[in-house]
Structure 1
Amino acid sequence: MKEWTEKKVLVLNLDHSPVGIVTVQKAIVLTILDKATSLAHFEYLRIRTVNREFFYPAVIRLYEYKNIPYKGVMLNRNNLFKRDNHTCQYCGSAKNLTIDHVLPRSKGGKTCWRNLVTACHRCNTMKGDKTPEEVGMRLNTLPFRPTLSYFLSEYAEQHAVEWLPFLEVRIV
């Protein structure tokens, strides 16, 4: 019983863009009140009442478009590490991780998604106040600004594969 209460439901706007994640209780209330429709459900789960049975929703879409100001994914340590798969972008280590400015701040580098990477303490110290090219280092992957869909798809791959067809993963 506990497993189904922990499952989350993906909420899409009228244009199918992801709006957020809600509990199953909230999703069912939205569908019963005709504010949303279910687009996908978890095959192996059902919700039973005294005289009715419902599919357990996995993805719902709102009937009315909600104008939600785009805020993007917040740039913070946790999200940066998550984007970089908790590994150093120079050597691949997962130990003693820090944040590195690819173009150092002293040389005009900004604190933004496209200039920050996860680096181990050793690589960050070795790079110092120089660019990777100046010290002969190479990035394993180029830094990018992740979308909400990028992080939701990571969750979906582990907990809700039913979401994947509704998540367009783009690198912006």
Structure 2
Amino acid sequence: MTGAAQTYPALVLNADFRPLSYFPLSLWSWQDSIKAVFLERVNIVSEYDTVVRSPSFQMKLPSVIALKQYVSLDRRPAFTRFNVFLRDHFQCQYCTDSLPAEDLTFDHIVPRSRGGRTSWENVVTACQDCNLVKANRLLKETGMALMRPVKEPSTYQLQENGRSFPPNFLHESWRDFLYWDSELET
């Protein structure tokens, strides 16, 4: 096998054949996917044409694998900066500009200096300009308004939001398992 094998990720599906996550897309390295095959934790659904070999064994690299045991996605999503951005569609909730994550920040609707908590219901995605304008003031003091009401999202809602952001690389064998809001290249 060539050094290019590092570029052969496997799409990981839950036992119901849906991706574990859309954003980031649930991918395992070729090494992790082969290990899971040997440990009998996954079924191979599709393969690349590339073969890995040892002195006594050879196999095609898996391109799509499905877990044998279902992983429940009913748990509460982690409160992270990335998940706040994902909940808010990577859009400033004040001016509605869509920006890459590195150009976004988050803002406390009720500033911490005024008793605001760091929670799903009090933190929104903001561009740096709007965050500076709002500063440590309340919305009614600034004349600014939120795009939409804020609340804690479900894992399902974050998954659905993630479908709006297809990754740069989509292998042909993954198309039957991914449902993006944008059309896949042919």
Place the TM-score, normalised by the shorter chain, in its bin: 0.5 to 0.7
**Larger helix proportion, structure 1 or 2?**
1
CA deviations over 1:79-104 (Å, ceiling 9, x no partner): 54465565533222759743211244
- Residue 25 of structure 1 and its aligned partner are, at CA, apart by 2.0
How many pairs are equivalent? 163
Residue 184 of structure 2 corresponds to: none
SS of the counterpart of 1:123? helix
* Residue aligned with 1:99, SS: strand
> Deviating runs (4+, > 6 A) in structure 1?
none
CA separation of 1:14 and 1:87: change in aligned 2, threshold 3 A = closer
Distance in structure 1 (CA, Å) of the matches to 2:42 and 2:143: 54
Counterpart for residue 48 of structure 1: 51
**TM-score normalised to the size of structure 1?**
0.61
- Say whether the 8 Å CA contact 2:10–2:64 is kept in structure 1: yes
Unmatched runs of 5 consecutive residues or more in structure 1: none
Separation (CA, whole Å) in 2 of partners of 1:7 and 1:154:
24
What is the aligned-residue RMSD (CA, Å)?
A: 4.2
The whole-number CA distance in structure 1 between the counterparts of 2:45 and 2:169 is 17
> What is the distance in 2 between the residues matched to 1:101 and 1:164?
40
Distance 2:31 2:117 in 1: 43
Q: Can you list the C-alpha shifts for 1:15-56, whole angstroms capped at 9, x where unaligned? A: 456285421122123224433112345xxx4222568552x4
Return 6-15 or 64-73, whichever deviates more.
64-73
TM-score (norm 2): 0.58
Query: Which structure: greater strand fraction?
Result: 1
Structure 1: distance between partners of 2:109 and 2:176: 32
Give the deviation of 1:151 after TM superposition: 7.8
Unaligned runs of 5+ in 2: 182-186
Q: Which has the higher contact order (CA 8 A, sep 6+)?
A: 2
